[in-house]
Amino acid sequence: MSHSGGGSTGRDRPGRDLAPFLAVEAWVFDLDNTLYPRHTNLFAQVDQRIREYVGRLLAVGPEEAHRVQKDYYRRYGTTLRGLMEEHGITPDDFLAYVHDIDHSPVEADPVLAAAIRRLPGRKFIFTNGSRAHAEKVAERLGITDHFDDIFDIVRSELLPKPNRATYDRFIGETGIAPQRAAMFEDLARNLEVPAALGMKTVLVLPSPGIREVVEDWEMEGSDAPHIDYLTDDLGGFLGEVLGEIGKRG
């Protein structure tokens, strides 16, 4: 596995090879805790509203709602999918409720915005969240105009990553060539299929202090063979990639 930083991961190796990015024509980014750093804590608001929704739906207290929420998230990829499978809910009310949050903690990121703008080829947001949520985050970051498309949970027919069919649907709709694509994610499990399809994979880690409070299972797989690169500074990492492209170009 090649490691890259742009911020220390504690496991970086010197002399990492960024040359594989020279062949990339499609850049695919997860949204939450990937395009903005985990310490922004935006997803904590979504998390809380999911718990409220589960508690209201099942008429249980916060502790049991939390247990059900996380159980479904781990087993189905999203709590929504678990609620659909096990309780037959329709998604519209859920998606509207859980994404009705204050997006102001997301701050403009001019370094990231400039790097994404300069990436050669097509750029996509591929999220298990809603398009409306993705658009609000992108607007706050200052990257709205830098993406060709947003592929959200509705376009995934409500089947979340890491299901193989969802990646196949994304590739079918966008027409990208996986062997000439790179994917950026904060969960290692969501990069297994992209790696198998031939994509370059970049795992975006929380900053060191935040890593201590992340649930253990969310950090699983950072050393897995399907992870090509690690970084805890996406803007810095993309800057390094652009430097390599410029050097070789």
For residues 232 and 6, is the Cβ–Cβ distance under 8 A? yes
Q: What is the pLDDT of residue 111?
A: 97
Neighbours of 38 (CB within 10 A): 22
In this model, does residue 218 exceed pLDDT 80? no
In this model, does residue 199 exceed pLDDT 90? yes
Q: CA–CA separation, 27 vs 21, rounded Å?
A: 10
Distance between start and end Cα atoms, the chain: 25
In this model, does residue 6 exceed pLDDT 50? no
CATH architecture of 42-98: Orthogonal Bundle (1.10)
| pLDDT-derived band at 7, boundaries 50, 70, 90 | very low
| pLDDT-derived band at 177, boundaries 50, 70, 90 | very high
Superfamily for domain range 19-38+107-248 = HAD superfamily/HAD-like (3.40.50.1000)
Q: How far does CA 18 lie from the centroid of its chain?
A: 21
Q: What is the pLDDT of residue 249?
A: 59
- List, by residue range, all CATH 1.10.150.450 domains of the chain: 42-98
- Per-residue pLDDT averaged across 54-78, rounded? 96
- List, by residue range, all CATH 3.40.50.1000 domains of the chain: 19-38+107-248
In this model, does residue 217 exceed pLDDT 80? no
The pTM of the full predicted model, rounded to 2 decimals, is 0.89
Q: CA–CA separation, 47 vs 22, rounded Å?
A: 37
For residues 234 and 242, is the Cβ–Cβ distance under 8 A? no
SS (H, E, C) 89-129: CCHHHHHHHHCCCCCCCCCCCHHHHHHHHHCCCEEEEECCC
- Per-residue pLDDT averaged across 241-247, rounded? 94
Digit-coded pLDDT (tens) for 108-156? 999 999 999 999 999 999 999 999 999 999 999 999 999 999 999 999 9
